[in-house]
Amino acid sequence: MARPIGKQTIRKRGLSPVARGILESLEEYAAYRRGEKTGIKVVRVSPKVPEDVDVKSIRSKLGMTQEQFTNFGFSLSAIRHWEAHRRMPEGPARVLLMVIDRNPSVVLEALHR
């Protein structure tokens, strides 16, 4: 049976089970977006970006100098300002610092590919 999706009509017959499942999920999502009752359960997750990050303790934990810490893409002056508490890292920098704190090798690998 042909099903209208937006301005297109897609036939389910001949689709693989995976493709059919994806199509059905898209149809259900479209119905949800139109405000129709569906079986979709919506869960919204708000990321927890800390307000304060102790850059010096992260760097010290890794046994790195300020100069070595620039390998993560930060300028030396930014690191010095953050550690002296003259400035605070902005949101994206705080997120990156959280990742560095938890798994620095992933960040270094991504930067040095």
Residues forming beta bridges with residue 5, ordered by sequence position? 8
Predicted local confidence at residue 10, as pLDDT: 63
Query: Within the chain, what is the greatest distance between any pair of CA atoms?
Result: 67
pLDDT, average across residues 38-46: 82
Read off φ and ψ for residue 42, nearest 5 degrees.
-100, 125
Write down the pTM of the prediction: 0.58
State the amino acid at position 20 in one-letter form: R
- Three-state helix/strand/coil letters over 25-60: HHHHHHHHHCCCCCCCCCCCCCCCCCCCCCHHHHHH
State the amino acid at position 49 in one-letter form: V
pLDDT tens-digit readout, 2-17: 555 555 556 777 888 8
pLDDT tens-digit readout, 62-105: 999 999 999 999 999 999 999 999 999 999 999 999 999 999 99
